[in-house]
Amino acid sequence: MNSTRFLQSAIFTLFVSMALSYPAFAKSGDVPLVARVKELTRAARWTPVAAIAIRFETFHPQGMVKIGGYFYVSSVEIRRLPKKLAVPVDGHAYDEGVGVGHLFKISRDGALITDLVLGEGSIYHPGGIDYDGTSIWIPVSEYRPDSRAIIYKVAPATMTATKVVGVADHIGGVVHDTASGRIEATSWGSRRFYSWPITSAGTMRAASTANPSRNAENYIDYQDCHYVGRRMMLCAGLAEYQASPRGPAFQLGGIDLVDLSTHRSLWQVPVPLWAPSGRVMTQNPFWIEASACGLRAYFMPDDDHSTLFVFDTVVP
pLDDT digits (tens, 9 = 90+) for 129-168: 999 999 999 999 999 999 999 999 999 999 999 999 999 9
Task: Evaluate if residue 11 carries a pLDDT over 50.
Answer: no
Question: Is residue 1 in some structural domain?
Answer: no
Is residue 201's pLDDT more than 90? no
Residue 246 included in any domain: yes
Domain limits for position 287: 25-314
* pLDDT for res 7: 38
User: What integer best gives the mean pLDDT of the chain?
Assistant: 91
Sequence-separated (6 or more) residues with CB below 8 Å from residue 43: none
Domain-located, residue 252: yes
Residue 10 CB burial class (10 angstroms; 0-12, 13-18, ≥19): exposed
**pTM assigned to the model:** 0.90
In a domain, 4, yes or no: no
Q: Is the pLDDT of residue 15 over 60?
A: no
Single-letter amino acid, residue 145 = P
Residues 175-197: what's their mean pLDDT? 97
Supply the Cα-derived Rg of the chain in whole angstroms. 19
The alpha helices in the chain, defined as continuous H runs, are 3-21, 31-37
pLDDT band at 200 (very low <50, low <70, confident <90, very high): confident
Considering the domain boundaries, does residue 239 fall inside one? Answer: yes
The CATH number that applies at residue 63 is 2.115.10
Tell me the average pLDDT across 221-247: 95
User: 148 lies in a domain?
Assistant: yes
Domain count, the chain: 1
Does a structural domain hold residue 12?
no
Q: Residue 31 — pLDDT band, cuts 50, 70, 90?
A: low
Q: Distances from the Cα of 1 to the Cαs of 4, 6, 120, 121, 246, in angstroms?
A: 8, 6, 43, 44, 54
Question: Under DSSP, is residue 37 helix (H, G, I), strand (E, B) or coil?
Answer: helix
What percent of the chain lies above the pLDDT cut of 90? Answer: 84
Does residue 314 contact residue 293 with C-beta atoms inside 8 Å?
A: yes
Taking the C-alpha atoms of residue 100 and residue 15, their distance in angstroms, rounded to an integer, is 34
Residue 17 falls inside a structural domain: no
